[in-house]
Amino acid sequence: MVTKRNLAEKDRERLENLKESLGKSRDTFLGYPVSKDFDYSELTPFLQYPINNLGDPFEEGTWKVQTHEMEKEVVAFFAKLFRAHPKDYWGYVTNGGSESNLYGLYLAREMYPKAMVYYSESTHYSVRKNIHLLNIPSIVIRSQENGEIDYEDFENTLRMNRHKPAIVLTTFGTTMKEAKDDVSRIKGILRNLAVQDHYIHCDAALSGSYGAFMEPRVPFDFKDGADSISISGHKFVGSPIPCGVIITKRGHRDRIAKGISYIGSLDTTIWT
C-alpha cells in the first residue's frame, strides 16, 4: 500500500523556488540546441510507477513494469527513417547522445578489437571520453573551415594505417557549426584503400532527427554505409528528460548479447 506524505512548508517553498528558477532559466537562455516548446503534462501520472526497461527491448523478461512495446515503436520509427534493413535492425532508448555514441563504439571495438578509431577535431567531446573509457587507439582528423571532416586528411591518414581495421566516427550536425560529414564519401575512401574490416558510427545527435527530410540530402544513414546511428532525444525532439536512441544492425548486436537469468532477458544495452 502506497501512502501519501504531505510536504513540510519549507520543502514546498523550496520546490516552488526551484520551479520559478527553472522557468526563468528556460525562458532566457540562448545558444544551446534543445527544444523548449513541449508539453508532456499528460504523462505526469506515470511518474508514480517504478518503470525500468531492463534488458533487451526485443526480448521478454521477468520485470513487467516497463514500456518495451513503446520503446520498440521508437526504435522502428528511427530505423525506417534511417533506411535500415527491415529485417536487420536493432536499438534501444538510451540516457543520452553520449551513451548512444559509447554503444556504437563498443560494438565496433567488439567486432574489431585491434582497430584504430578516426574522428574529426569537430567531434563532440563525449567521443574522446568514450574512446578513453573503451581504451581504443585513435587518431584525430583535421576539420574543414565549415566543421566538416577533412576527407583528404582522412584518406592520407588511413593510407598509413590501412593494415589495421578502421572505426570511423562521423558527425551529422557538429556542436558549433552543425557541419555534416558525408558517410558515403567516407565509405568510398575505405573501399578505394581496400580496408575491408571497418565500422562507421554516425553521431547524429543534433541533426539526425530531421536529416532524412533535408534538401539537398547529405548522406548519413544505413544505405549510405553507416553501421550504427545515434540521436539525442532532448534536442530537436524536446524530451524534458535527457535521452537518446541508438540504431544498429541486429547482426552487430548479436555479437555481444549475453543471457541474464534473473531478469529473463539478454544483456545487450549499456546501463540496464
Question: What's the confidence (pLDDT) of residue 118?
Answer: 98
- The answer to whether 130 touches 94, Cβ cutoff 8 Å, is no
Residue 210 to residue 232: CA distance in whole angstroms: 12
Q: 226 is written with which cell numbers?
A: 553507416
pLDDT at residue 117 greater than cutoff 80: yes
Question: Minimal CA–CA distance to 155: which of 199, 190, 180?
Answer: 190
Residue 3's pLDDT band (boundaries 50, 70, 90)? low
Q: 59 is written with which cell numbers?
A: 526480448
* 244-248 and 198-203 beta bridge pairing: unpaired
Judging by beta carbons within 10 Å of its beta carbon (0-12, 13-18, 19+), is residue 45 exposed, middle or buried? exposed
Question: Minimal CA–CA distance to 175: which of 151, 206, 217?
Answer: 206
Question: What's the confidence (pLDDT) of residue 263?
Answer: 83
In this predicted model, what pLDDT tens digit does every residue of 170-199 receive, in sequence order?
A: 999 999 999 999 999 999 999 999 999 999
Residue 205 to residue 192: CA distance in whole angstroms: 29
Question: Minimal CA–CA distance to 249: which of 190, 200, 210, 204?
Answer: 200
Residue 7's pLDDT band (boundaries 50, 70, 90)? confident
In this predicted model, what pLDDT tens digit does every residue of 43-56 receive, in sequence order?
A: 999 999 999 999 99
- The answer to whether 198 touches 165, Cβ cutoff 8 Å, is yes
Domains and CATH numbers, the chain: 82-267 (3.40.640.10)
Question: What's the confidence (pLDDT) of residue 2?
Answer: 54
pLDDT at residue 99 greater than cutoff 80: yes
Interhelix angle for 151-160 vs 183-192, to 10°? 30
**3-class DSSP state of 118:** strand
Residue 4's pLDDT band (boundaries 50, 70, 90)? low
- The answer to whether 253 touches 268, Cβ cutoff 8 Å, is yes
pLDDT at residue 5 greater than cutoff 80: no
Measured in whole angstroms, the distance separating CA 79 from the mean position of its chain's CA atoms is: 13
In this predicted model, what pLDDT tens digit does every residue of 226-257 receive, in sequence order?
A: 999 999 998 888 898 889 999 999 999 998 88
Q: What are phi and psi of 214, to 5 degrees?
A: -75, 145
